[in-house]
Structure 1
Amino acid sequence: MEYFSEFITIALVHLVAVASPGPDFAIVVRYSISYGRRLAMYASVGVGLGILLHVAYSLVGLSIVIKTTPWLYSAISYLAAAYFLYLAYGALRSGPSDSAATVETIANNKPVTLRKALLSGFLTNGLNPKATLFFLSLFTAIIDVNTPVGVKAIYGIYLAVATGAWFCFLSYLLSTSRVARLIGDKGYWLDRLMGVVLIALAIRLITI
């Protein structure tokens, strides 16, 4: 109970972060629409496992080193902003697609192994600077420095499981026929909205 309020804070912050559009969301949408529910869920589990990578370097203190080294922190922030702008550029260029062509493209997709789907999710999250900055902030600003490493590890496991569970649920939702048709017809608006959000995140990173 001593760390319950800290855990609740972390859970709420994580809920907002995981629900926001980003690379993790994009990879799950892609697998759901292009390859189906099963592969999308493997990609979702991969995203959850990627969280453990961020937790690992945070637990050994690398996040504190980054935080206390101004030039390194700034470099990561600018790299993250550039990455977000790159993703935003592609998202804002999306437009409506022909439904028949979309169906044909999906049907002709090359088979993807479960291992590749898992690895894609893991790398998407593990190499995502947004996630790096999120955990850097989480383990230096929200979690008290005196919190035992064991408790921090429990936090990390929760974040990984919660992330994987959220994206598995999203995979299930996106692979239902009605939602899949809606995304096929109007999904480019979702991409454009994601682009606007990513631009806002990039601006925030280089102005704070």
Structure 2
Amino acid sequence: MSHYLLEFGALAVAHFLALISPGPDFFLIVGTSARQGPGRGAAVCCGIAAANGLYILLALTGCAMVRDHPLLRDGMKTAGALYLLVLAVMLLRAPRHTAGGAAAAPERVPAGSRLRTFGAGFLSAALNPKNAVFYLSLFALIVPPTTPALVQALYGIWMFCAVLCWDLFIVWTIGNGRVTRYVNGSARLLEKGSGIVLFILGIVMLIR
């Protein structure tokens, strides 16, 4: 049990650090919530979470195939470690920005029903190839073949819930001035800290 807790901890930390790093989904959520209200923002969040859930499912099934081929498994681990290093460098070199400025970034959010905004969120996450690479790399790097399928499924459910809850938290911050000011003040520090941790994790996985 303790082994699974350590495994889950490494998986959850790496996933959350990547999750809180601003990307296309973040700007879509902020822009939709600011211009169309929290209801539409929540619909976008559900769409993004659904696409992430699909990639998580594909990663879980794909990892079983990868593990049956040692060369493919080792290559995937190396690629995953390098991907974490690239992501870390991007975070460490990211230009300064604020949530307030980010709100004006997206201009292509559909103004129709919640179903349409759900679709916008789903496509935003589904059409981002980094999501597929990230989840497959994460499972291949951290979760060993001996981990039961049920435990892996619980990992996947946790990550799906983490994506949804974090995105809904972003929607909530749009209407909360104090939280927005805090995010503006600490975004740079969060990026740098996340970059350092992901860099260390990538190095450890590369030499393991």
Name the structure 1 match of 2:206: 206
Q: After TM superposition, give the deviation of residue 196 of structure 1 in Å.
A: 0.8
**Deviation beyond 6 Å, 4+ runs, structure 1:** 151-154
Name the structure 2 match of 1:110: 107
Look up the SS of the partner of 2:17 in the other structure: coil
Residue 127 to residue 55, structure 1, CA distance change in 2 (3 Å): same
Which runs of 5 or more structure 1 residues have no equivalent in the other structure?
145-150
Residue 63 to residue 161, structure 1, CA distance change in 2 (3 Å): closer
Query: Which 10-residue stretch deviates more, 78-87 or 130-139?
Result: 130-139
Question: Does residue 168 of structure 2 align to residue 166 of structure 1?
Answer: no
**TM-score normalised to the size of structure 2?**
0.66
**Which residues in structure 2 correspond to 1:108-187 (within 5 Å)?**
109-113=106-110, 114=117, 115-124=119-128, 127-136=131-140, 138=143, 140-143=145-148, 155=154, 158-159=157-158, 162-175=161-174, 176-187=176-187
**TM-score normalised to the size of structure 1?**
0.66
Offset from partner CA, 1:24-58 (integer Å, 9 cap, x none): 75345434444435446524542343223332463
Name the structure 2 match of 1:22: 18
Name the structure 2 match of 1:79: 79
How many residue pairs get matched? 192
Q: After TM superposition, give the deviation of residue 125 of structure 1 in Å.
A: 8.1
Look up the SS of the partner of 1:121 in the other structure: helix
Residue 161 to residue 94, structure 1, CA distance change in 2 (3 Å): closer
Which runs of 5 or more structure 2 residues have no equivalent in the other structure?
111-116
Look up the SS of the partner of 2:22 in the other structure: helix
Look up the SS of the partner of 1:66 in the other structure: helix
Percent of aligned pairs sharing the same letter: 15
Give the Cα separation in 2 of the matches to 1:91 and 1:67: 30
Look up the SS of the partner of 1:197 in the other structure: helix
Amino acid at match of 2:22: A
Offset from partner CA, 1:73-132 (integer Å, 9 cap, x none): 1221222222222222221123545x7xx7566336423232333222334587343321
Amino acid at match of 1:106: A
Look up the SS of the partner of 1:111 in the other structure: coil
Look up the SS of the partner of 1:162 in the other structure: helix
Name the structure 1 match of 2:114: none
